[in-house]
Structure 1
Amino acid sequence: MSQPVPPPNQPQQPYDAQPGGGNPFAAQQPGQPGQFGGVPFAPAAPSRNNVALGLLAAVVAALVAAGIYGGIIGATKHQIGYAAVGVGFLVGLAAGKVGGRNPVLPVLSAVLALVSVYFGQLLGVAMINKSDSMPLSEVFLDHFSELNSLWKADIDPIGFLFFALAAFAAFSSAKKATG
């Protein structure tokens, strides 16, 4: 097989003598069209370390998780520890992924997880104790003090353990989700 012959006006150089020490892409400037059309190999990292956005994501996750947790309690008529851990994990994950590495976010995530578990448990108590003639929203909103009294009478040391597990899960998942 014959070797290709370089044009007479260009001297042949060994591969190592190319600009960039043998890297055929070294001479190409970023963003300039080249062999791959100027498309970067990886997307730019999103701008993170936004406490407000992380807090907003954590609040939304806390509301969704409280509704799911309350639904689980209402359907099973029992508190489930793994569900409380899931509430904390979801809140912390949302805050860490969206908000970034700010050291305030894990603490805020733990507090929001506690609030979310509390409202989830209240929603579960409301679902268990509601009558057929009264809608759930009325039980939860118009009779909140009675609902809170029922919750206080029903809470036990295991319920407080679920609070602690949710806060720990939120704190640790917020820290790990950042990086």
Structure 2
Amino acid sequence: MSQSATPPQQPQSQPEAQAKPQAPAQPQPQPVDGNPYAQQPGAAPPPPPAPYAPPAPQRNTMVLGLLTAVAAALVAAGIYGVVIGTTKHEIGWAAVGVGFVIGLAAGRLGGRNPVLPVFSAVLALGAVYLGQLIGEAMIGADQLGVSFSKVFFDHFDVVQEAWKADSDPLTFVFFAIAAFAAFSGTKKAAL
């Protein structure tokens, strides 16, 4: 038995490849603006740019912010006055709360109008003052055994004189704290 060695055959693709002329090589894409992945072959083309849509006009919500801040100031002043009247002490965190509530209301509903933080600070001063007067009237009504409304509405000048007599430097610190809390709260809460 003799075995004959068959010569190795070349793959069929080589002769055909040699017979056909080769296409010129595709030029390799060059990086665009330093992006090595730009214009890669087989990559999906970028989506067409979206049509220009102007931004939605912003509503003028300053009036809404101002009205809400006034309502919040009246409510906060009443609560602050009740706290003072029941504890018979001014409480600093309550003054911070008064300012913050006013600022939050103005900023959330009024937006980024630059008038709102200043208006909120002024409202906070008024709300703390009104709250302290309500507290003084509650304390006076307890001591005299009469109703709060009689002291507050019929003898408001006496309530103011009592506030002046009881005020000390700490009273004015509470004013400053409330105004600062309202000013910064409005800026932080603005949408």
Matched residue, 1:98: 109
Counterpart residue type for residue 182 of structure 2: A
- Structure 2 counterpart SS, 1:79: coil
Matches of 1:174 and 1:156, distance apart in 2: 28
Hey, which bits of structure 1, 4+ residues long, moved more than 3 A?
Answer: 16-21, 45-49
Match of residue 177 from structure 2: 165
Query: Which residue identity does 1:123 align to in structure 2?
Result: I
Task: Give TM-score scaled by structure 1 length.
Answer: 0.73
Determine the C-alpha separation between the residues in 1 that align with 2:103 and 2:59.
15
Cα distance between partner residues in 1 of 2:148 and 2:110: 34
Query: What is the CA distance between 1:134 and its match in structure 2?
Result: 2.4
Cα distance between partner residues in 2 of 1:156 and 1:133:
26
101 and 127 in structure 1: CA distance in 2 versus 1, 3 angstrom threshold = same
Aligned length: 144
Contact residue 130 and residue 136 of structure 1 kept, 8 A: yes
**Alpha-carbon distance, 1:52 to partner:** 1.0
Q: Secondary structure at the match of 2:113?
A: coil
Quickly say closer, same or farther: Cα 1:97–1:143, change in 2 above 3 A: same
The C-alpha deviation readout for 1:14-46, integer Å capped at 9, x for no partner, is xx869959xxxxxxxxxxxxxxxxxxxxxxx99
1:127 to 138, 149, 164: 138
* Matched residue, 1:50: 61
| TM-score, structure 2 normalization | 0.69
**Secondary structure of the corresponding residue to residue 138 of structure 1:** helix
| CA radius of gyration, larger in | 2
Identity of aligned residues (%): 65
Q: 1:74 is matched with which residue: 85, 88, 109?
A: 85
Q: Which residue of 2 aligns with 1:145?
A: 157
1:20-77, CA deviations, whole angstroms, 9 ceiling, x for partnerless residues? 59xxxxxxxxxxxxxxxxxxxxxxx995542211110000000000011001001110
Structure 1: gaps (5+ residues):
1-15, 22-44
Instruction: From the superposition, tell whether residues 146 and 46 of structure 1 become closer, same or farther in structure 2 (CA, over 3 Å).
Output: farther
